[in-house]
Amino acid sequence: MKQKTIELDVREDINNKLEPFQKIMEAISELQLNDILILHAPFKPVPLYGVMKAKGFEHEAEKIDTKHYKITFTKKGGK
């Protein structure tokens, strides 16, 4: 089975004072083992790391620009 990658940019949502948590949860609901979510955010979403870890995801964060972080979440286990 092919690895699936979803790319989600929530920078505009956050700039417009919209909470992107539900959008992120919907995106990961269809991910299977070793699938990837690439999240673009204006800051490191540290509280999200714990939520994602509990759902079986590991993460890697990369600073692209002053207000642009690319966080790669990989499903390694869990639900």
Q: What is the mean pLDDT of residues 11-19?
A: 97
Confidence check: pLDDT of 70 > 70:
yes
Judge whether 69 and 42 are in contact, CB under 8 Å.
yes
Which CATH architecture fits 5-75? 2-Layer Sandwich (3.30)
**Where along the chain do its domains lie?**
5-75
Judge whether 72 and 38 are in contact, CB under 8 Å.
yes
Judge whether 26 and 6 are in contact, CB under 8 Å.
no
**pLDDT tens digits, residue range 29-60?**
999 999 999 999 999 999 999 999 999 999 99
